[in-house]
Amino acid sequence: MKMWDGRFKVATDKLLEEFNASIGFDYKLAKYDIQGSIAHAKMLAKCNIITKQDKEKIIAGLKEILAEVENDEFEFKVELEDIHMNIEHYLTEKIGPVGGKLHTARSRNDQVALDVRLYLKDQIEQIQNLIKQFQDVLLDLAKKNIDLIMPGYTHLQRAQPIRASHHLLAYQQKLKRDYQRLDDCYQRVDILPLGSGALAGTKFDIDRDFVAQELGFSQISQNTLDAVSERDFVIEFLSTASTIMMHLSRFSEELILWSSSEFQFIAIADAFCTGSSIMPQKKNPDIPELVRGKTGRVYGNLIQLLTTMKGLPLAYNKDMQEDKEGLFDTVDTLKVSLEVMSRMLANTKFNRDKMIEATEKGFVNATDVADYLVEEDIPFRQAHEIVGELVFYCLEKDKKLSDLSLEEWGQFSEVFNEDIYQVIDIKNCVDNRNVVGGPAKDEVLRVIKREQKLLNN
């Protein structure tokens, strides 16, 4: 029953058959394979390579198979190696020898390249929608919590006060660029390889423009060898997916920290946490931990394919069948991670008191004192040193800057006035930083509005 029975007179070794087969995973390409075959059959008839009647039989058969695939009734056979041969073989079983005309002017090499591109185009659009939803959740949360102030960190040490919304918007901006990266990647996925044949094209007078139009490709590949030998568009997608997971992983890390007893900045809803089998008191942030963990396998899939491709001579080599499992795994992992993270975030509460408490404790207003001195014409470096001494003094006396009397301020510089108390007020510290993209309330509100508008366009 093999397609190559003409050349081979002995049965394939069983172990080899299993080893060689990709049907165990490329069954996922079934609907794209059928979509591609329907377009190909239409083109063959249009170019008078097959008759209109043959075309109609082929398309009717393919549509029946599609329905069976969609109803989980299609039986994938390992002896038929991959999705392309499973479908073609079954088509011929259904409609007779005319099914064998479908593969005219086509090779599995351009067929598989087509299927992966169709799959990826579809998936990129789905992933982009999930990224938009995620941004929506972030913008919503930012708006709801606009008055929430927290310490901003560098080196995980309290640095300067910010709005919690400002922190959320930082991730929204990262995701926005991820969306754009996918747009960019899409352009290079959106190229039709079909018509390249096994490697050297075909002598049949085919119409590639017609196929491109039928399948919604905006470009056609311009070198048959390149088209069947290349998986750089998969690598580019895997790299973009890795960047997105890197962002989700950093965010996860913060959510894990923030939900710890040490921080207590947030409470993730119980429905999104798990307990411990031994410690009755535990509530664990498994979801962000898993997203952080799964980032590793997504990176792994990128490195795997880069490594698989690095020594391959042109054009197709069977090594390239190894492009699919990692790709499918990355797509599934990325989609579920985006979905689960945005649902969890929408069900997370901020702990206002703990955030304020942390903001008041860490001398996060020290830079503002230095800036105050600068405005009194003291060079910044000197101001920095004076405030350093102030902080040292406070640490010794176990005081906050706001606890100091005007007399104590005076010991460090004679320019300090009554108005210093306004300057070190945490809320003022944040709202005075109204630089474009800064944490001041007006500015954060402006950005939320702007980004919501862009998102809904």
Give the catalytic positions in this structure.
155, 276
Per CB under 6 A, 89 contacts ligand ARG: no
Residue 266: how many other CB atoms lie within 10 Å: 21
- Contact between 82 and ligand ARG by CB under 6 A: the answer reads yes
Whether the Cβ atoms of residue 103 and residue 62 lie closer than 8 Å to each other: no
Query: Rounded to the nearest whole angstrom, what is the least distance from the CB of residue 205 to ligand ARG in the complex?
Result: 24
Q: Are 178 and 128 in contact (CB under 8 A)?
A: no
How many angstroms from the chain centroid is the CA of residue 227?
A: 26
Residue whose CB is less far from ligand ARG, 116 or 148: 116
What x/- string results for residues 187 through 206 when contact with ligand ARG is judged by CB under 6 A? Answer: --------------------
- E strand residue ranges, 50-194: 149-154, 157-163, 191-192
Rg for the chain (alpha carbons), in Å?
Answer: 31
Stretch that binds ligand ARG, among 105-113, 146-154, 361-369, 428-436 (CB under 6 A): 105-113
- Phi and psi at residue 404, to the nearest 5°: -70, 140
* Nearest to ligand ARG of 122, 322 (CB atom): 322
Least Å distance, CB 82 to ligand ARG, is 4
**Gap between the Cα atoms of 93 and 91, Å rounded:** 5
The residue length of the chain stands at 457
User: Of 91-99, 104-112, 216-224, 304-312, which part binds ligand ARG (CB under 6 A)?
Assistant: 104-112
Question: Are 91 and 58 in contact, with CB atoms under 8 Å apart?
Answer: yes
The phi, psi pair for 379, rounded to 5°, reads -55, 145
Q: Which residues within the stretch 11-70 sit at the binding site for ligand ARG (CB under 6 A)?
A: 22, 26
- The span from the CA of 298 to the CA of 66, in Å, is 30
Residue 406 near residue 416 (C-beta atoms within 8 A)? yes
Q: Are 356 and 149 in contact (CB under 8 A)?
A: yes
Contact 192, 221 (CB under 8 A): yes
Nearer Cβ to ligand ARG, position 57 or 108?
A: 108
Among 35, 37, 86, 109, binds ligand ARG (CB under 6 A): 109
Task: Name which position in 38, 65, 95, 112 contacts ligand ARG (CB under 6 A).
Answer: 112
Work out whether 172 is an interface residue with ligand ARG (CB under 6 A): no
- Name the one range near ligand ARG by CB under 6 A: 107-115, 187-195, 201-209, 383-391: 107-115
Total chain residues near ligand ARG (CB under 6 A): 10
Q: What part of residues 302-341 is at the interface with ligand ARG (CB under 6 A)?
A: 316, 318, 320-321
Interface with ligand ARG by CB under 6 A: which residues?
Answer: 22, 26, 82, 108-109, 112, 316, 318, 320-321
